[in-house]
Amino acid sequence: MMLRPLTNAFRDCRALDGLWRFALDAEGVGRDQQWWRGALPGKAEMPVPASYNDIPADAAVRDHVGEVWYQTSAHVPATWGGQRIVLRFGAAAHRATVWVDDQEVVSHVGGYTPFEADVTDLVRLGEANRVTVVVDNRLDWDSIPPGYVEDTPDGPRQRYHHDFFNYAGLHRTVSLYATPPAHITDVTVTTDLDGLAGIVDYEVRASEGERALVALHDAAGTEVARAEGLSGRLRVEDVHPWRPGEGYLYELRVELLDAGGAVVDRYSLNVGVRTVAIDGTDFLINGEPFYFTGFGMHEDHVVRGKGHDDASMVHDFALLEWIGANSLRTSHYPYAEEVLDYADRHGIVVIDETAAVGLNLGIGGGIVSSSTQETYSDETVSARTQEAHRQAIRELVERDKNHPSVVLWSIANEPESHTDAARDYFKPLFAEARALDPSRPVGFVNVMFARAGECKVAEFSDVVMINRYYGWYVQAGDLAAAERALEAELHEWVRCEGKPIIMTEYGADAQAGVHSAVSQPWTEEYQVELLEMYHRVFDRVEAVVGEQVWNFADFATSAGFARVDGNKKGVFTRDRRPKAAAFSLKRRWHARGEAV
Ligand code: GCB
């Protein structure tokens, strides 16, 4: 339960973003020396939100393994007296502990979901309060995503089995907010369509009090339905559904009443009325077959790494519109909440993924690894990892359950899935996701080493989501062989599972500016030809209901011989300039959009 903070007549929210003091704890002494008790050592400053890694142009910071410290001073308005005061972090990668002045207030594990602390009794009103955060970027076998730290003669090195740079720090907005003491703690909505009418089921939770008034307003501000009670059903005649490409939103206004009937708190939530269902090999939104076009993305930018920034976000969405994409996958972790809000408003369809990536010792840096360890064992991905994974699913669903743009949960990317151990590991996690949210389909993204008929996890999934690199990691440079292999495998999936298939990744690295008359891997032409080959195949297989190219843009990875200044499978460069493939996709997706 964690409602996004907002400002209205009853609530107030202030961002603490900006330059914070910063100290790299290279020797790991900050906790022993209780750095939170005073000003951090040194004079370094760090922007929040941002990854710290690329800001100072210093390898010691970029490749640091361990803890770093952030500190700011937060002025608490005197007018907040009598209110409940909360300190909230949009995310801290990957674990954090927070102090207000000398008091420890909260710790959190997991780099991509929010956490907060009630600091009402600690803060001094009308004064500046010291906020100190220690952020640890280490991944271990018990974390999501997993990793391990190797001790080398040159110091610790962070290793992991996923293919993106381990950016860390305070990646999202930090806020201090006030609510009334008796307050709304959570709102859940699920929607349905009944002919031309829309149905909105709601459930309100409150810290105290049993009475709530809810009213639904349309986009013009007109009230279209109201109800009383902490839970209930609203019916909207002639509803304007939330549709892909349009994204119509209603506003649910919730008021909490005290025993005398006076309003004591108010909260507003955007609501899109839509349905999601699976019928045979169709993926239905509002009862109509939906075909996903778009990308697996990354939160990844020059200089700020994974730090959220509205300018970059709106530009990325503008490029999605330019190219004609209707969807994205939050590969390989939950994105900033601003991204989902934007998708809600603009009708972009989202596959929402947990940070469970790299649960596969057969893969290293995107390709086959030399590891001889087992993926699932007490020393590697274990019951402890599974518990962290369960928690990651919980926090994702809790955070994103009300977003109409989210139509499908992806609980993992490319885990080892061809073994009995994988089946045992995933079965309860699927059950957990379904119990948390019976209203959306649940899936995971399958890796090429567990083909149709071999995968022991696909049976739990409502859809088949697969990443395939025929023509790149296998049959590199041989698109004719790749085309045969791809088509054969897709038919196998239809035969084995009979579910809708979304190709959640396919693509080729291309170094922008490398050209060739006779196309070769790494050229822009080869990237175009490979994508066009996949599209011919998709158009021949009815059960394919989506194509999401890997990746939207080039992105940073850890160092390795297979990566040239990062992963170059972007259709845009890292600074968002289109490669030749972008124009090919634009033609296809716009033509498809117009045909619908
Ligand atoms: C994959 C992974 C993705 C990698 C990609 C690649 O299958 O899901 O994270 O970046 O392949 O380019 O190797």
Q: Is 366 near ligand 1, meaning CB less than 6 Å away?
A: yes
Q: Are 417 and 451 in contact (CB under 8 A)?
A: no
Q: Say if 366 falls within a structural domain.
A: yes
pLDDT higher than 70, residue 1: no
Q: Provide the ipTM.
A: 0.99
Q: 284 and 258 share a domain? A: no
Cα–Cα distance for residue pair 346/149, rounded to 1 Å: 41
Cα-to-centroid distance, 50 and ligand 1 (Å): 24
Query: How do residues 263-276 score in pLDDT, each as one tens digit?
Result: 999 999 999 999 99
In this prediction, residue 575 carries a pLDDT of 98
Instruction: Determine the residue of 331, 550, 555 to mutate for testing ligand 1's pocket, defined as the one with the most ligand atoms within 8 A of the Cβ atom.
Output: 550
Residue nearest to atom 9 of ligand 1 (CA): 163
The CATH number of the domain where 201 resides is what?
2.60.40.10
pLDDT higher than 80, residue 306: yes
Query: How do residues 60-93 score in pLDDT, each as one tens digit?
Result: 999 999 999 999 999 999 999 999 999 999 999 9
Q: Is 467 near ligand 1, meaning CB less than 6 Å away?
A: yes
Q: Is 414 near ligand 1, meaning CB less than 6 Å away?
A: yes
Residue 33 contacts by C-beta under 8 Å, 6 or more apart in sequence?
Answer: none
In this prediction, residue 372 carries a pLDDT of 77
Residue 218's pLDDT band (boundaries 50, 70, 90)? very high
Query: 521 is written with which tokens?
Result: 């891997």
**Structural domain count of the chain:** 3
Q: Say if 7 falls within a structural domain.
A: no
Atom of ligand 1 nearest to the CA of 413: 8
Question: In the Cβ-directed half-sphere of 41, how many Cα atoms lie within 13 Å?
Answer: 11
Q: 399 and 362 share a domain? A: yes
Instruction: Kindly name the residue from 255, 299, 497, 505 that is annotated as catalytic.
Output: 505
Q: 238 and 198 share a domain? A: yes
Residue 363's pLDDT band (boundaries 50, 70, 90)? confident
Q: 412 and 535 share a domain? A: yes
The parent domain of residue 460 ranges over 277-595
Q: 324 and 428 share a domain? A: yes
Residue 210's pLDDT band (boundaries 50, 70, 90)? confident
Q: Are 106 and 135 in contact (CB under 8 A)?
A: no
Q: 248 and 307 share a domain? A: no
Query: How do residues 526-566 score in pLDDT, each as one tens digit?
Result: 999 999 999 999 999 999 999 999 999 999 999 998 999 99
In this prediction, residue 196 carries a pLDDT of 97
Query: If you search the block for the tokens 């119990």, which residue do you land on?
Result: 435
Query: How do residues 278-298 score in pLDDT, each as one tens digit?
Result: 999 999 999 999 999 999 999
Cα–Cα distance for residue pair 209/259, rounded to 1 Å: 7
Q: Is 79 helix (H, G, I), strand (E, B) or coil?
A: helix
Last residue of a domain, one of 137, 158, 179: 179
Task: Classify residue 182 by its DSSP letter.
Answer: S
Query: How do residues 448-468 score in pLDDT, each as one tens digit?
Result: 999 999 999 999 999 999 999
Residue 362's pLDDT band (boundaries 50, 70, 90)? confident
DSSP character string of 568-579:
---SB-TT--B-
Q: Say if 164 falls within a structural domain.
A: yes
Atom of ligand 1 nearest to the CA of 557: 10
Q: Say if 52 falls within a structural domain.
A: yes
Residue nearest to atom 13 of ligand 1 (CA): 366
Cα-to-centroid distance, 363 and ligand 1 (Å): 9
Q: 192 and 174 share a domain? A: no
Last residue of a domain, one of 146, 179, 212: 179
Cα–Cα distance for residue pair 340/363, rounded to 1 Å: 30
Q: Is 414 among the catalytic positions? A: yes
Q: 366 and 500 share a domain? A: yes
CA triple 213-214-216, angle to 5 deg: 155
Cα-to-centroid distance, 507 and ligand 1 (Å): 9
In this prediction, residue 593 carries a pLDDT of 81
Residue 373's pLDDT band (boundaries 50, 70, 90)? confident
Q: Say if 103 falls within a structural domain.
A: yes
In this prediction, residue 366 carries a pLDDT of 60
Cα–Cα distance for residue pair 133/135, rounded to 1 Å: 6
Q: 19 and 160 share a domain? A: yes
Q: Is 395 among the catalytic positions? A: no
Residue nearest to atom 5 of ligand 1 (CA): 366
Q: Are 132 and 98 in contact (CB under 8 A)?
A: yes
Instruction: Kindly name the residue from 255, 299, 337, 414 that is annotated as catalytic.
Output: 414
Q: Say if 4 falls within a structural domain.
A: no
Q: Say if 3 falls within a structural domain.
A: no
Q: What would the mean pLDDT of 23-31 be, rounded to a whole number?
A: 97
Last residue of a domain, one of 221, 248, 274: 274
Q: 249 and 357 share a domain? A: no
In this prediction, residue 205 carries a pLDDT of 97
Q: 542 and 554 share a domain? A: yes
Q: Say if 1 falls within a structural domain.
A: no
Q: 476 and 561 share a domain? A: yes
Q: Is 432 near ligand 1, meaning CB less than 6 Å away?
A: no
Query: Beta-carbon neighbour count of residue 377 at 10 Å?
Result: 12
